[in-house]
Structure 1
């Protein structure tokens, strides 16, 4: 995280300090990925940033070694689980940093009501306000290390799916194909799976089908969407394949969708509006005879799976350099088959970089 940009956001919003407490923003702000913070709700971690001052990182004592190994923050404080209250310690740290009676931003979407009441009771003179907009203003525009992590995850996902489709055969079950994808992903460096969606035939039109012991059959469309974490950053990619030789209709649908995909991505340059990308996709779909029903065609990606901004018809903001976006769109056929394309794109001054490394062939992948 860029401290100069953070301090500018704090000044803009008249905040004297900001406190990150969600696992996502703690990772973003400190560089430390504390998995138990996600798994054990009471194991609070907090990153405290006074405006133009030195930050402090408060963690459970059992996570001190990880925090010191991964975080750039020098002032790391610890609490003893079940003996010390981390929220009261947070209040003490804020007072010591001169924040009493000031405006302090905190993540009200994450900190539970009970903990927030403890914090307010510990310092009733301080105005604790939500800081969601602070992080939403910073996180979409990635730093080089973030881009490198996202690129690694995106390319690994593309390779994992391609390799799984290549060795799969008609008759293999949804679960077998999904397991091949996941094995490939872990071999390519994924740390955790966040979701696996895969359906064949009419199940491909279920938005989020869990892979089942259902065999694929010639003539089916297999649609998959998989998410994993690489060092706490999300990878997310969707793709489809025809089982056996594609029908002329299946091949045509894929080509039409790829036409929209390539057109939208080629237009992802600084200054282009999000709503223009949405409308471009919609116009191509309709002109090609495809059904269009999507509320959005993409989202930012990073320490959260869906981050602002979104590619929606109502978002008239312009794209900016270093923005990372997942472009995704779906077509549902009357026969019950659904097709989906999703790729990760970095917006640069020189044009879009497709982080998934896709070659964008017009030919639908085949499981044969």
Structure 2
């Protein structure tokens, strides 16, 4: 069952989402060769708690950490450890926070030092596909419209779209209806209406779309061992249009990147 949010609840969700956005911005300054994912995980937990929130992933379905940290060929759900990041790695950081009874859930794939051009292109296309999908999340459209847009954008550029893992509704639970696949057919699936809130999160592979799971029961990685990228935003339907609740602004501020990519999805620029 899809749970519609009131305008007041959407603003509470924006607060949770922005805590996650600020956490990713904090981590952006620390992602560098020699740093361990476990160190980044501890930083994130402390920061989230300092904001009066609870780490959204810690203990969820018995997950052992605050962050899902997935380097290189790991797609999602990687467990932080003491292995240092290396020059040329990429690392997907997926983070959640719970405050005022609502979750935020937000992800970004970072470059570690200087990465190969084909990897830069993978990250660029994956992030672009996120916004391609968000444009389709509007009143009257359907789940398949978002999935088709993302799939078409990525596959026509030669990349693989993961099938087994999807975006999702978001609210008082981390995972609510509807599921939001990154593939699909236009006009199919549940219809979008005012007040819906979802997490849209393309997971895009350099090679095959096929995946494996490690024996830890969590870590998902590409079947061919090639790199994977993952970007995620929390989005509400407000006045019939997609409204971003999360932002990459804090990441970009930390990395010295100028971007106006989010402007079309903000009816109130002062919200961040």
* Superposition TM-score, scaled by structure 1 size: 0.57
1:356 corresponds in structure 2 to 246
CA deviation digits over 1:309-334, x for unaligned, max 9? 12243852221011101001112334
2:78 corresponds in structure 1 to 209
Question: Which structure is larger by alpha-carbon Rg, 1 or 2?
Answer: 1
Equivalent pair of 1:174/1:199 in contact (CA under 8 Å): no
| Runs of 5+ unmatched residues, structure 2 | 59-66, 207-223, 257-272
1:249 corresponds in structure 2 to 118
1:147 corresponds in structure 2 to 10
1:167 corresponds in structure 2 to 30
Q: 1:308 aligns with which of 158, 167, 177?
A: 177
Displacement after TM superposition at 1:187 (Å): 2.1
- Partner Cα separation in structure 2 for residue 170 and residue 290 of structure 1: 27
1:328 corresponds in structure 2 to 201
Displacement after TM superposition at 1:148 (Å): 1.6
1:198 corresponds in structure 2 to 69
2:235 corresponds in structure 1 to 345
Higher share of residues assigned helix: 1
Equivalent pair of 1:171/1:217 in contact (CA under 8 Å): yes
4+ aligned runs moved over 6 Å, structure 1: none
Give the number of equivalent residue pairs: 225
Q: Do the aligned partners of residues 259 and 169 (structure 1) sit closer, same or farther apart at CA in structure 2, a change above 3 Å counting?
A: closer
Q: Do the aligned partners of residues 158 and 294 (structure 1) sit closer, same or farther apart at CA in structure 2, a change above 3 Å counting?
A: same
Displacement after TM superposition at 1:357 (Å): 2.5
| Runs of 5+ unmatched residues, structure 1 | 1-135
Displacement after TM superposition at 1:359 (Å): 5.1
Instruction: Confirm or deny that 1:280 pairs with 2:149.
Output: yes
Q: Do the aligned partners of residues 283 and 360 (structure 1) sit closer, same or farther apart at CA in structure 2, a change above 3 Å counting?
A: farther
- Partner Cα separation in structure 2 for residue 355 and residue 226 of structure 1: 14
Query: Could you say which structure has the greater relative contact order, defined with CA pairs below 8 angstroms and 6 or more residues apart?
Result: 2
Displacement after TM superposition at 1:189 (Å): 2.8
RMSD in angstroms over aligned alpha carbons? 2.4
- Partner Cα separation in structure 1 for residue 163 and residue 50 of structure 2: 34
Equivalent pair of 2:193/2:240 in contact (CA under 8 Å): no
Equivalent pair of 2:37/2:85 in contact (CA under 8 Å): yes
Instruction: Confirm or deny that 1:269 pairs with 2:138.
Output: yes
Q: Give runs of aligned pairs for residues 289-300 of structure 1, distance below 5 A.
A: 289-295=158-164, 297-300=166-169
* Superposition TM-score, scaled by structure 2 size: 0.75
Equivalent pair of 1:332/1:339 in contact (CA under 8 Å): yes
- Partner Cα separation in structure 1 for residue 248 and residue 154 of structure 2: 21
